[in-house]
Structure 1
């Protein structure tokens, strides 16, 4: 079972690394940590299980039953070698035995993996005769008896027949689903299958990105596409996203505001600290949440606040993002990296404040331009633009 867990954790670990590279989803960071922890625990347990596998550890009840059935026998040690593994400083050895059963088939050779107490190590050297128990008369595995009764201990010390027996055929271990100790052996093919299942299950949230990766695209290209799609999904310029964001902020700030900035991934509102106040605070909507961020860094002149205030609830916010696209068309400037616009009243000393304006600005490496609109989408004023654009032509006509 531990090997199954280890195989699954390796699949999840690989999927987490790939999924994080393809999407950057925090889910994969969490899965990566979990997979590393599970794998780091399962690996030593798996190694220990491999070391202990085939060591002759058996159910004491089955050993007692085998002894009662007369399957205690003598065996001669024909070879011993260390496996390089140890448990509690006791070496795990592979011991080659020539077993002489008292019933059933004749003598045979087999090998057992045994944890050998250091104090007993001299007694299991080649040529020594030991007492063993054959758990299954149809299988070659035996268990070394560390504490045989006095009669069998005396037989092992005085026996000549087993010591002088020349050789016997190897009894090959037949393949079955269980070991002699009753532990079920899982076919090796199961482990890569489990690793693949763990990989597929963990990668499922990024299945589309993984599919695009198979289209011979690079990880960087797939990640860029994913990030662009994720940004578009939450962009204030994507239809249906701006109005809920505005509503969430206005629920905190109130509808009477002095300025609203709309960015690609956020909205910022400036409004009087409280109704009728001449100081202003700011509120922001970002990552699906509206919060009060505190006092405005630049405070207006107290007498200007009443002139700057407008009712944000009276504006059709859903129609405004399209004005940014219109600005790009009018100015001939393609500026899609950081779209934004803001709404405010233009307040000039000695003049009557304007109605709220939708103010847009675009630029590229060579030119810039701006267009102001009424909240109904009518062009109020323009400036700049690329040569040959409508706004550049209008500016030349005015000159």
Structure 2
């Protein structure tokens, strides 16, 4: 069972590494630490089990039954070697025996692995005759009797027959479901199958990315595509995302605000600290949650607060993200970096505040430009942009 769990943990460990490379999802980072811990513990237990599992003696009931059926006999030690493992400071040894059954099959050679008490090690050197019990008449496995009856002790001491058997053929019986000590033997093919199962189940959440990896054979390309899709899913410029975010903010700040700033992955609102206040605070929506972040870093002139207020709940926020694409067209700046826009009144001392404007700004490595729209999407003003763009032409005309 430990080997099965170890195989599963190896599969999930491999999946966590690939899943993290393809998606960067926190799930796979957590799975990595869980699976590597499980694999380390499993490996330790497997090594301990390999060293000691086969060295554990046969079940006492099985030995007693074999004795009752008359399968106690003598065997000569033909070789003994340490495996390099130990249990409770006692060495685990492989002991080669030449067994002479009293009935049925003739002499045969077999090897058993067991823990040898250091005090008994001298009595198990090659040439020593031991009392053993053949556990099954049709199989070669034997158990060394550590406390034989006095009669068998005398037989072992006086024996000449077993000592005089020069050699015998090894008896290699097919492996069965359980070993002589009762441990279940699982076919080796089961372990890679379990590893594949663990790998597949753990990678199921990233199955689409795995499919693209098979097609593109590039982890970097799949990761870039995944990140782009994930960013688009939460982007304020994706249809349907902005309006709920603004609604969540206005539920905290109130509908009358001074400014709403929309970024790709978050939205911020500047509004009076409280109803009628001449100071302003900030509220932010990010990662699906609206929070009050505290006072504005730059406080407006007291009289500008009331002059700049507008009812943000009355605006069609779902329509504004598309204005960014229109700004790219008007300025001739495609694929602008870090899309954003803000909504505010234009407040100039001595002049009447404007109606709320949607103010957009775009730039790339060579040019920048800006377009102001009414909340109905009409162009109010524009400047900058690439040469020969509509925005550049409008700015040139205004300056003429």
With normalisation by structure 1, the TM-score equals 0.98
DSSP 3-state at the match of 1:200: helix
Q: CA deviation at 1:256?
A: 0.7
Is the CA contact (8 Å cut-off) linking 2:346 and 2:355 kept in structure 1?
A: yes
Partner residue of 1:217? 217
- Structural mapping, 1:342-353, within 5 Å: 342-353=342-353
Is the CA contact (8 Å cut-off) linking 2:337 and 2:363 kept in structure 1?
A: no
Q: CA deviation at 1:57?
A: 2.2
- Structural mapping, 1:16-35, within 5 Å: 16-35=16-35
1:19-74 C-alpha deviation (Å, 9 max, x unpaired): 00110000001100110111111111111121224335221111111111111111
Is the CA contact (8 Å cut-off) linking 1:98 and 1:109 kept in structure 2?
A: yes
Q: CA deviation at 1:182?
A: 2.9
Alpha-carbon distance in structure 2 between the residues aligned to 1:173 and 1:79 = 20
Is the CA contact (8 Å cut-off) linking 2:110 and 2:171 kept in structure 1?
A: yes
Aligned residues: CA RMSD = 1.1
Is the CA contact (8 Å cut-off) linking 1:56 and 1:112 kept in structure 2?
A: no
Q: CA deviation at 1:114?
A: 1.3
Worse-matched range after superposition: 245-254 or 170-179: 170-179
Is the CA contact (8 Å cut-off) linking 1:332 and 1:389 kept in structure 2?
A: yes
Structure 1 residue ranges, 4+ long, deviating more than 3 angstroms after superposition? none
Worse-matched range after superposition: 124-133 or 43-52: 43-52
Q: CA deviation at 1:387?
A: 0.7
Partner residue of 1:48? 48
Partner residue of 1:328? 328
Partner residue of 2:186? 186
Partner residue of 1:113? 113
Unpaired runs of 5+ residues, structure 2, are none
Alpha-carbon distance in structure 2 between the residues aligned to 1:152 and 1:186 = 37
Partner residue of 2:372? 372
Is the CA contact (8 Å cut-off) linking 1:237 and 1:264 kept in structure 2?
A: yes
Partner residue of 1:200? 200
Is the CA contact (8 Å cut-off) linking 1:358 and 1:373 kept in structure 2?
A: yes
Worse-matched range after superposition: 41-50 or 306-315: 41-50
1:143-194 C-alpha deviation (Å, 9 max, x unpaired): 1111112221222122121112212221112232222233221000100010
- Structural mapping, 1:1-399, within 5 Å: 1-55=1-55, 57-398=57-398, 399=400
Worse-matched range after superposition: 371-380 or 65-74: 65-74
Alpha-carbon distance in structure 2 between the residues aligned to 1:56 and 1:132 = 15
Q: CA deviation at 1:222?
A: 0.9
DSSP 3-state at the match of 1:168: coil
Is the CA contact (8 Å cut-off) linking 1:56 and 1:141 kept in structure 2?
A: no
Is the CA contact (8 Å cut-off) linking 2:63 and 2:135 kept in structure 1?
A: yes
Is the CA contact (8 Å cut-off) linking 1:79 and 1:96 kept in structure 2?
A: yes
Unpaired runs of 5+ residues, structure 1, are none
Alpha-carbon distance in structure 2 between the residues aligned to 1:2 and 1:38 = 10
Is the CA contact (8 Å cut-off) linking 1:56 and 1:181 kept in structure 2?
A: yes
Worse-matched range after superposition: 241-250 or 142-151: 142-151
DSSP 3-state at the match of 1:214: helix
Is the CA contact (8 Å cut-off) linking 2:337 and 2:364 kept in structure 1?
A: no
With normalisation by structure 2, the TM-score equals 0.98
Is the CA contact (8 Å cut-off) linking 2:80 and 2:96 kept in structure 1?
A: yes
Alpha-carbon distance in structure 2 between the residues aligned to 1:57 and 1:246 = 72
Q: CA deviation at 1:337?
A: 3.0
Alpha-carbon distance in structure 2 between the residues aligned to 1:173 and 1:87 = 28
